[in-house]
Structure 1
Amino acid sequence: MPKRRGRPLPPSEDRLLSRMRDWRAAHESELSPDGLDEDPDLPDARVISLVLRVGELMLASGESTEAVSEAMLSLSVAFELPSSEVSVTFTNISLSTHPGGDQPPITGERVVRRRTLDYFRVTELHTLVEQSALGLLEVEDATARLKQIQRARMPYPNWGIAVCFGLIATSASVMMGGGLIVATVAFLATVLGDRTSVVMARRGVAEFYQMTGASVVAATIGIGLLWVSIELDLGFQAGAIITGNIMALLPGRPLVASLQDGVSGSYVSATARLLETFFTLGAIVSGVGAVAYIAVRLGLDVDLEELPTAGTSMEPWVLVGAAGIAMAFAVSLAVPPRMLPAIGGMGVMIWVIYAGIRSVFEVPPMMGTVVGAVAVGVVGHWLARRTRRPVLPYLIPSIAPLLPGSILYRGLIEITQGTMVAGLLSLVEAVAVGLALGAGVNLGGELMRAFQRGGLAGAGMRSRPAARRTRGGY
């Protein structure tokens, strides 16, 4: 195998595409009228089980519907399942294969009932699929590797993930000039809110109320510090605590995945993920809004002109905060450690582009958000292709510095102070910024995909399922 700088080159993707073409040509010949197989062999049940289990684990760990479909089709081709069809929705996976001749089709199905975001397993599963597609693993080896991935521990301990969840709020507070005390309290408030949601989960409480409970705990602590700051004239940016907690809870992953599924033509999954996003957003709004309303009714006066925001600053502590948010978000999603430096750099990049565009051209926040998100989408897809890793672990944490936490907090305060129209407009702006983030990173991916030859299943610019249903397929 050729080498580059002393290291073996990764297996060529052309080899995968060539193997797929050869197999498909041979299979079509077998099913032609001249070469019809009178007594076809039944598909290997181990292969069907492997394909379904890999797809189930990928979907449950946070991968997009399109990527799961491509991975399952790649395994079907690699292990020669005849006439395979794959269907993946938000919670259901099915695989159908037809042996040919007079044999009936064989169909298997799996249901995803529990989701745990774990991009470490997603990355390992992509490696398993690629090695299988390139002929480096047999069925027994791939099955054994799958069991190892299922039993493997995440690269970070549970307490480390909880700490990094708090560091998201801390980094956001630093970006907004909250200072050491505010950043420390933001960390404690967010960790305490997260632990509250964990306790509620263990008691079987629905996830909506878990998110509401977490936001209530953190918002109460933030409002408490704000009251102390006003009474003692300390000048703390206590609102940064609530803003940081909101950014830690905002559903960046389902938002990006929903738009990605919609672009790829998986409209059922896209709708379900988007509904999940709005339910999570509703839980956050309910929790923070209730605390803010009670605080205003008790006489706490919040000055809208002094609400925390990073604006378009590019001061060193703001850039450090942007990198910190991205990397802490990545750790909370169990992204492999070797990917963290690139993610931190992309977090700084998206903020610099956003702030630079707004400062130079004086455009609204949405325009800066779209441009920054597109740049991250292009770089993230390029890195994923170059390193042969899934793209979502690069994209989801990198957009975290632009999540609309401060806009959402402003809207809730405006509503509690009686300016309903202004508050609703701020909430709509927050939703629009979130959608701009998701659309931007997906547009960056589409720009990269338009010029690539293939992916895990050879689904490039000439063979994308969604494209075949539109004018691009004619």
Structure 2
Amino acid sequence: MGVNEVMTTAGDARGPDAEVVDLVAGLVRTLLASSGEGAHLIEPWARRVAEAYGHQVSLVLVPDGAVVAVGAGAGAGTDGAMTLKVTETVTVAVRAVPEVFRLDRMVALKPLVEEMCAGGLPAARAGRRLRQILHGRAPYPWWAKAVGIALFALGFAPLMQPTWYEIGSTAVLAALSAVLAVAADRLPRLAKLLPLVAATLVSVVTMEVFARDATHGGPVLLMLPALFFFVPGDYLSAAAAELGAGLMTTGAIRLVYAVFLLVQLYVGVLLGLAVTGSSTRRLFDVAAVSDLPRWALFCGWVVFTVGTVLAFAVPARLLPALLLLVYLTVGVQSLATKAAGETAGTFVAAVVLAGVANVLARRPAGPPRLVLLLPGFFTLTVGSLGMRGLTTLAGGHVVAGFTDLLKLVTIVTAIALGLMTGATLTARRADLARS
């Protein structure tokens, strides 16, 4: 839906090209739909594309929408650079629900943006290719996404408790979560309540089947791997990064939305306790004795990365690079944590991850930074602290609960600042000038 706004100024610059307006609005819509990790790319990419076609653009962003004003430009400045003298702008309202579940779109979008910015690609043809990206099918069938969610949880399970029992229970619970997630793609009503429904089902099965013996660890630790796909740790860190970068509106709204998703999971766990007649006092957070060999812990990251590729629709050709970044992040975090503590270790790991991803993403044909960051980011496990803190508080363990919540705030900030620092240290001067 567009609304023309005519502005009369000196000069006779032409009005904006309708094909360019449609192209820029479509680009913003596609970026919004993939902006679960943050909206920082939207304005720079839209500005570059508009300028490549002789136009200028200004944006007002919120996480699920944007007002896009596109104007034609003409004329030359005293320094020889193009100046944009606007006599008419076309304003378009764009809406899209932010997510991170179709990263194949971002992988296909980056080379298209580079081709548009290089010149020679007509706006009409670029618009058709953009629509193909936005409405194209996922690279994997629905069952592959279900398998990916299960592998994603299984790879994460040893971080909660390095036991065979944790892996076995996660296999069952993650299968339930995967079925719900795939079903939600076809059932819009379920999609709106997916975190709540998934947490309730996982809580019921955990309390009735897997948490009867305290020697296997706390119920929350048994539940979390199967719910990790729904935990908004990425939204929390993206919100902190946006606030730190000065994107106040998007950062604040995303933070509220992340907390809302986290509370849905928390309420779902409590509903599961009510259904099973269990007391909240059972929500203790004590890990069982480890019985996993080191090779299983090492191989768990392979399972986790393969699951990430399938669950988030990342092209399979990027698996080696993502696996390298996962092991790099884990290695740096482990070494830095031993040397300087958990907060410093997380910060250093985030700096290294962001820096390496920034360098790898510089190539026009290379994958976008978001895709390179995501698996490594998940290894920092920020979102699970919020769930553990809330459920531990509900169980009456006040000190442990507030300790987890305090760690959540600290680690979220450390990750966000680390990602910003790494990106800034490795950014090119041209990129800094455009930002």
TM-score past 0.5 threshold: yes
What is the CA–CA distance in structure 1 between the aligned matches of 2:284 and 2:47, rounded to whole Å?
Answer: 56
SS at 2:70's partner residue? Answer: strand
Q: Which residue of 1 aligns with 2:132?
A: 148
1:45 aligns with 2:45: no
Matched, 1:108 2:87: no
For 1:120, give the aligned amino acid. D
User: Which structure 1 residue ranges, 5 or more long, are not aligned?
Assistant: 1-32, 455-459, 465-474
Q: 1:340 to 1:259 in 2, by over 3 A?
A: farther
Residue in 2 that maps onto 1:10 = none
Structure 2 residue corresponding to 1:97, chosen from 23, 46, 71: 71
Counterpart-to-counterpart distance in 2, 1:360 and 1:85: 46
Match of 1:444 in 2: 422
2:171 corresponds to 1:187: yes
CA distance in 2, matches of 1:220, 1:114: 30
RMSD of the alignment, in Å?
3.3
Q: 1:246 to 1:427 in 2, by over 3 A?
A: farther
AA partner of residue 72 (structure 1): A
Distance 1:211 1:124, change over 3 A: same
In structure 1, give the amino acid aligned to 2:410.
A
Cα gap change, 1:136 to 1:314, in 2 (>3 Å): farther
User: Which 10-residue stretch deviates more, 173-182 or 199-208?
Assistant: 199-208
The answer to whether the 8 Å contact 2:199/2:227 transfers is yes
Partner of 2:307: 328
Aligned counterpart, 2:155: 171
Would the alpha carbon gap of residues 357 and 115 (structure 1) be closer, same or farther in structure 2, given more than 3 Å must change?
closer
Identify which of 390, 407, 412 aligns with 2:368. 390
Do 2:140 and 2:313's aligned partners in 1 also have CA atoms closer than 8 Å?
yes
Specify whether residues 327 and 433 from structure 1 end up closer, same or farther in structure 2 by C-alpha distance, changes over 3 A only: farther
SS in structure 2 of the partner of residue 137 of structure 1: coil
Q: Secondary structure at the match of 2:379?
A: helix
Name the amino acid aligned to 1:284. Answer: L
For 2:60, what is the secondary structure of its paired residue? strand
**Quick one: which amino acid aligns to residue 132 of structure 2?**
Q
| TM-score, normalised relative to structure 1 | 0.76
Which one has the largest radius of gyration? Answer: 1
Cα 1:414/1:270, change in 2 over 3 Å: closer
1:134 pairs with 2:118:
yes
| Aligned partner of residue 385 in structure 1, secondary structure | coil
2:413 counterpart letter in structure 1:
L
1:317 has 2:319 as partner: no
Could you say what secondary structure the match of 1:245 adopts? helix
1:160 is aligned, of 139, 144, 160, to 144
Query: How many residues of Structure 1 are paired with residues of Structure 2 in the alignment?
Result: 414
Shift of 1:88: 3.2
- List per-residue Cα deviations over 1:228-250 (Å, max 9, x = no partner): 445xx7x5787543121243222
Q: Note if 1:346 corresponds to 2:325.
A: yes
User: Distance between the aligned counterparts of 2:108 and 2:281, measured in 1?
Assistant: 51
Q: Which residue in 2 is equivalent to 1:379? A: 356
SS in 1 for 2:90: strand
Moved more, 98-107 or 143-152: 98-107
CA contact (8 A) 1:354 1:369 kept: yes
Write the mapping of 1:75-86 to structure 2, written as runs, cut at 5 A.
75-81=49-55, 83-86=56-59
1:427 aligns with 405
In structure 2, the residue matched to 1:453 is: 429
**1:301 CA displacement:** 5.1
- Give the superposition deviation at 1:192: 1.4
Which residue type is aligned with residue 429 of structure 2?
A: R
CA offsets per residue over residues 315-351 of structure 1, 9 Å max, x none?
3322322343244234322222222222122222222
The one-letter code of the counterpart of 1:109 is V
Per-residue CA deviations over 1:384-413 (Å, capped at 9, x if unaligned) read 114543211111221112214664454345
The answer to whether residue 51 in structure 2 is matched with residue 61 in structure 1 is no
**Structure 2 residue runs without a partner (length 5+):** 1-8, 76-84
Shift of 1:54: 1.3
Other structure's SS at 1:94 match: strand
**SS of the residue aligned with 1:399?**
helix
| Post-superposition offset of 1:218 | 1.7
For 2:289 and 2:44, the matched residues in 1 are separated by 43
The percent identity for this pair of structures is: 22
- SS of 1:95's equivalent in the other structure is strand
- What is the CA-CA distance between 1:131 and the residue it aligns to? 0.3
Give the equivalent residue in structure 2 for 1:269.
Answer: 250
Deviation (angstroms), 1:124: 1.4
Q: Which moved more, 1:368-377 or 1:241-250?
A: 241-250
CA distance in 1, matches of 2:48, 2:170: 45
CA contact (8 A) 2:358 2:426 kept: yes
Report which stretch shifted further, 62-71 or 375-384: 62-71
> Displacement of 1:208 after TM fit?
6.2
